[in-house]
A and B are shown apart, each in its own frame.
Chain A
């Protein structure tokens, strides 16, 4: 008897012919979106402003259609649940949303209370709340700050508290909408490293909405480019980000990738193989051209 041990691929988000029109608008903000995202993926969702990225993310955790009014067509299934048939508090246990500006998300008088808020609303037993809050604060690196007021913290610390609040719900998916735009570059780099760790160690599926790809591109397993409400490109980051089409659309591709493209177009014999996303990789590719033949 033979056992087939295949790595199971579990679909955590599925959309089919998803179209949404906000109340009061004539045109849909997303059109005909069909996506399948599997557990453990690290997806970067990008595209020009107003392309529908944020609207799509609102569909993943039920803010659409439960909070934002409008006309929803097609289907969104998250962790096996049809989003329009389940309330947002139930969906919040499966999909966590981290906003651009942590100020908009934090409100309690202490970090610990902020992190516990969502769980208290679920009516979980006290012990379970305690356990999850401590765990989430430790994973997000804010345990030492638990008695501090969120508004006293730096932007980077606040964003970590927002991440901890989301983690406490033990979601399968975390959606982050430009989570580092208010942070200094070093703070941004650390947040991306931490998100990557969550993805690697806990297998949490990450959907990162981002314009600035210089720091984040190297962590992605997949890049989705939207334009005018539709998914235009979807694939391997190195392939998608090196397409001329992507650049012309106004996606801020990493400068290391751009330099590689320019030199390649000039006919410089760069190291072939993978398209660089980081300075280290670009330097390695360029060094090839300087080797004496």
Chain B
């Protein structure tokens, strides 16, 4: 469990990035952190694995205050996949990249080999095993970064903007993949601007603005509340917008997903034709 209590964070240049954030994320939860550029989303999640330590307030991971443990200890439990894969990748081959942290954590050679193959296959990277990460496209590098974190099997997985540079088919794979992580009782936290992706995955949404949380609730609650979204510079999904325009003929306004939209319309048509 991750617990954040009145967290404040000021960067060395004086920028106050977090101005009193409190939240709880239970084991096995799937949470999306959304909101304006510069709202403090990335700063917040960097506190979960101890990359940043609070200026004021506290962050507890499984009851342990992050101030009392090293990043290396926390990293075993909380895996963080950076927004920009180039901040993370540095090895000469994809294989070495994925094996790197495993070696650091002291896994034996056989386990490393097994885990690397597993992670590469999972993310469709097996054919690039011997290729330099820098020969790959942005979307592929992003998946290498993800594979290298998943390989050590952390309990909490944080994905910072995982859908950037990914095409729709890969996003669908990512979605299935997150669902699979959840069946393994892992906690998944994503930072994202991708409203349509969130409408499909339907996680709990924490909405941020200017270093504070402005809303916290189910995807359905948050994405169908245009006033709250706008405060945080988020636009409702296309389906929700479509239903907003259909309000005057009696359709509900709390629809976010395309298949749910189809069902709702078919049902309403069935009733009006009776």
Q: Which of B135-188 contact A (CB under 8 A)?
A: 135, 137-140, 161, 164-172
**A278 / chain B contacts, CB cutoff of 8 Å:** 238
Which 8 pairs, one residue from A and one from B, show the smallest C-beta to C-beta distance? A250-B169, A283-B245, A279-B241, A252-B168, A186-B233, A49-B139, A255-B238, A279-B242
A-B CB contacts (within 8 Å), total count:
142
Quick check: B196 and A214 within 8 Å, CB to CB?
A: yes
Quick check: A181 and B164 within 8 Å, CB to CB?
A: yes
Binary per-residue interface labels of chain A (236-268) against chain B in the complex, 1 for a CB within 8 Å, 0 otherwise:
000000000000011111111011001100101
Tell me the smallest distance from the CB of B230 to a CB of chain A, in Å.
Answer: 7
The closest CB in chain A to the CB of B250 belongs to A290
Tell me the smallest distance from the CB of A227 to a CB of chain B, in Å.
Answer: 11
Residues of B within 8 A of A (CB): 35-38, 83-84, 135, 137-140, 161, 164-172, 193-196, 199, 230, 232-235, 237-239, 241-246, 249, 258-259, 261-262, 265-266, 268-269, 272
**A178 / chain B contacts, CB cutoff of 8 Å:** 164-165
Report Cα–Cα, A243/B231, bound state, in Å: 36
Quick check: A185 and B261 within 8 Å, CB to CB?
A: no
Tell me the smallest distance from the CB of A253 to a CB of chain B, in Å.
Answer: 8
Decide yes or no whether A54 CB sits under 8 A from chain B. yes
The closest CB in chain A to the CB of B38 belongs to A154
Quick check: A250 and B170 within 8 Å, CB to CB?
A: yes
Q: Out of A22, A24, A253, A262, which one reaches B262, CB within 8 Å?
A: A262
The closest CB in chain A to the CB of B137 belongs to A50
The closest CB in chain A to the CB of B242 belongs to A279
Quick check: A279 and B238 within 8 Å, CB to CB?
A: yes
Q: Out of B139, B169, B234, B245, which one reaches A186, CB within 8 Å?
A: B234
Q: Which of A42-90 contact B (CB under 8 A)?
A: 47-50, 54
**B261 / chain A contacts, CB cutoff of 8 Å:** 259
Residues of A within 8 A of B (CB): 22, 24-25, 47-50, 54, 100-101, 154-156, 178, 181-189, 211-212, 214-215, 249-256, 258-259, 262-263, 266, 268, 278-280, 282-284, 286-287, 289-290, 292
**A48 / chain B contacts, CB cutoff of 8 Å:** 167, 169-170
Please, could you name 15 A-B residue pairs with CB atoms under 8 Å apart, sorted by A?
Answer: A49-B165, A155-B37, A181-B165, A182-B193, A184-B234, A185-B195, A185-B235, A252-B168, A255-B237, A255-B239, A262-B262, A268-B265, A268-B269, A279-B238, A279-B244
Quick check: A290 and B262 within 8 Å, CB to CB?
A: no
Quick check: A50 and B140 within 8 Å, CB to CB?
A: yes
The closest CB in chain B to the CB of A289 belongs to B269
**A156 / chain B contacts, CB cutoff of 8 Å:** 37
**B249 / chain A contacts, CB cutoff of 8 Å:** 287, 290
Report Cα–Cα, A24/B242, bound state, in Å: 48
Quick check: B137 and A54 within 8 Å, CB to CB?
A: yes
Report Cα–Cα, A258/B260, bound state, in Å: 12
**B238 / chain A contacts, CB cutoff of 8 Å:** 214, 254-256, 278-279, 282
Quick check: B265 and A286 within 8 Å, CB to CB?
A: yes
The closest CB in chain B to the CB of A215 belongs to B235
Report Cα–Cα, A98/B135, bound state, in Å: 21
Q: Out of A186, A250, A251, which one reaches B235, CB within 8 Å?
A: A186
Quick check: B193 and A184 within 8 Å, CB to CB?
A: yes
